[in-house]
Amino acid sequence: ETGVTQTPRHLVMGMTNKKSLKCEQHLGHNAMYWYKQSAKKPLELMFVYSLEERVENNSVPSRFSPECPNSSHLFLHLHTLQPEDSALYLCASSQGGGLQETQYFGPGTRLLVL
């Protein structure tokens, strides 16, 4: 497989469930990102990891917990979510997490919280 992959592609969960989103990049990049895209709103940055260290946490509620075990994998652990958390969650990666780098996006996980 090439590029950035995400699983699952679709997820429906109740507010009391715990689930995890997975992202994997096959580009040899060192930086990975989580974005949230809600209907009618711009893409919102959630987390940035560079060389497996979190370098940005954009005031995201603690019910979202990221994990980056290595430079190729990124997880987003979800627990006790709210219906307003329903959105498209996009993972992206870039070469090194520095300036002037192109980010490449995965296909996204469409999440519905009931």
Partner 1 sequence: QKEVEQNSGPLSVPEGAIASLNCTYSDRGSQSFFWYRQYSGKSPELIMFIYSNGDKEDGRFTAQLNKASQYVSLLIRDSQPSDSATYLCAVEKRRALTFGSGTRLQVQP
Which residues contribute to the site for partner 1 (CB under 8 A)?
A: 31, 33, 40-45, 48, 50, 55-56, 58, 88, 90, 97-100, 102-108
Nearer to partner 1 by Cβ, of 13 and 43: the residue is: 43
Shortest spacing between CB 3 and partner 1, in angstroms: 10
Nearer to partner 1 by Cβ, of 47 and 113: the residue is: 47
Q: What is the 3-state secondary structure (H, E, C) of 31-89?
A: EEEEEEECCCCCCEEEEEEECCEEEEECCCCCCEEEEEEECCEEEEEEECCCHHHCEEE
Shortest spacing between CB 104 and partner 1, in angstroms: 7
Shortest spacing between CB 49 and partner 1, in angstroms: 10
Q: In what order do the strands lie in the sheet with 73-79?
A: 4-7, 18-25, 73-79, 64-70
